[in-house]
């Protein structure tokens, strides 16, 4: 039997080595393979990368956080893959417009490149993707894409928008970026529940 696979998509300032990625890998050791790649900065490139990875590796579930959830919703809808969207940021243009300039990733990337720049062309590209993010959303996915929302998340408060399209919304008493303990207590059980419902673990 093929080993179940989880594809984790990190947030905009994070990388595939962030705390949430580490927690998922530890939690599912021996149960599922957890893929935690570094995502390209630009959304169109990121979507192409994720789509290609999904077509090659055939993950059973996508797990995202923030910008990773924004991207996960698009790919999961398009390819029909179950997903857990942690604190999805569906208006990345607003997030980026307040942060124009040079930045550094908050966790190490595999290629060693830790610096990046938010500029208007990047924001414009996100705007184009954002405008079409629901194009592939369809009714049969309404109960296969779940949302997890931090009660103290002051960056991405999009549960009402999420519930226009999907039915399963959960809460945890945390902020936008979960701590390791929050990831273990809230993210891991929901991922496990989705996978058990699909008889994957």
pLDDT tens track for 134-175: 999 999 999 999 999 999 999 999 999 999 999 999 999 999
Query: Counting Cβ atoms within 10 Å, is residue 145 exposed (0-12), middle (13-18) or buried (19+)?
Result: buried
Residue 156 in tokens: 């991405």
Contact 166, 143 (CB under 8 A): yes
pLDDT of residue 3: 86
pLDDT of residue 198: 74
pLDDT of residue 200: 65
Question: Which of 195, 200, 187 has the alpha carbon at shortest distance from 26?
Answer: 187
SS3 171: strand
d(CA 23, CA 18): 9
pLDDT of residue 201: 61
In DSSP notation, 55-74 reads: HHH--SEEEEETHHHHHHHH
Query: Does residue 1 register a pLDDT over 90?
Result: no
| Residues 116-127, mean pLDDT to the nearest whole number | 98
Q: What is the pTM of this model?
A: 0.96
User: What pLDDT digit, counting tens, does each position of 165-188 carry?
Assistant: 999 999 999 999 999 999 999 999
pLDDT of residue 158: 97
Pairing of strands 61-65, 4-9: parallel
């Amino acid at each position: 039997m093929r080993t179940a696979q989880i594809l984790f998509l990190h947030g905009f300032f994070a990388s595939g080595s962030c705390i949430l990625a580490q927690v998922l890998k530890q939690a599912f050791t021996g149960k599922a393979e957890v893929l935690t790649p570094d995502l390209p900065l630009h959304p169109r490139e990121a979507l192409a990368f994720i789509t290609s990875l999904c077509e090659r590796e055939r993950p059973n579930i996508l797990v995202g956080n923030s910008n990773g959830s924004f991207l996960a919703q698009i790919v999961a809808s398009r390819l029909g893959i179950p997903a857990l969207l942690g604190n999805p940021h569906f208006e990345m243009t607003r997030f980026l417009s307040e942060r124009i300039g040079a930045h550094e990733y908050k966790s190490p990337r595999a290629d060693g490149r830790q610096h990046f720049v938010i500029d208007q062309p990047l924001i414009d590209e996100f705007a184009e993707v954002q405008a079409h993010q629901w194009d592939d959303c369809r009714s049969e996915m309404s109960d296969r894409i779940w949302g997890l929302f931090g009660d103290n998340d002051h960056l991405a408060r999009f549960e009402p928008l999420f519930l226009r399209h999907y039915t399963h919304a959960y809460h945890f008493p945390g902020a936008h970026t979960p701590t390791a303990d929050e990831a273990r207590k809230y993210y891991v059980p929901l991922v496990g529940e989705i996978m058990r419902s699909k008889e994957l673990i």
